[in-house]
Every structure is written in structure tokens, then in C-alpha cells.
Amino acid sequence: MADPEKLGEEVMRYGYAQKNKIKLYGRKFELVSDPVNRHDDVFVDAREEGADNVRQVQVPRNIVEMAKAGRRKKNSP
């Protein structure tokens, strides 16, 4: 399994970093944290457009898998 801190860094390269705005699951979010790993899943704290509360949103699995693949490519000779 990838180092959790390094996986978070790779996920940030796909736009899932603090202060970025993303559209996810048909909704617009402003990210208020950097990615956090929980086992094999990655989450970010986000505020939905027009809402005051912050909630954890799961980063889509395909983004996490692309980030893992990017790590493997960098580490291969």
C-alpha cells in the first residue's frame, strides 16, 4: 500500500487540495482541507456551494487509483 502522506500529495495533483473548487457528484464544493487517508479511501473536508457547514467528502475511487498508479510510475526504475 502507498505511504498515506505521499498518496495524499498525489491526490492533490488532481485538484483535490485546500482552497480549490471542484464539482463532485453533481454538486459544487470548496475544499477546506487537504486529502486525508482512511484505510484505502481518501477524504477531503468540503463546503457545498451555498451552505455554511463543512462535511467530509470521499474522493472518487478512480482519482485515488490514478494517484496510486502515478506513485508506482515514479518509483519504478
Note the pLDDT tens digit of each residue in 14-68. 999 999 999 988 999 999 999 999 888 999 999 999 999 999 999 999 999 999 8
Identity at 10, one-letter amino acid code: E
Q: What is the model's pLDDT at position 6?
A: 83
Predicted model pTM: 0.81
Please check whether residue 3 is in contact with residue 20, taking contact to mean a CB–CB distance below 8 angstroms. no
Give the model's confidence band at 72: pLDDT under 50 very low, under 70 low, under 90 confident, else very high: low
Query: How far is it, in rounded angstroms, from Cα 69 to Cα 10?
Result: 10
What is the band of 1 on the pLDDT scale with cuts at 50, 70, 90? very low
**pLDDT number for residue 4:** 65
Backbone angles phi, psi at 66, to 5 degrees: -65, -40
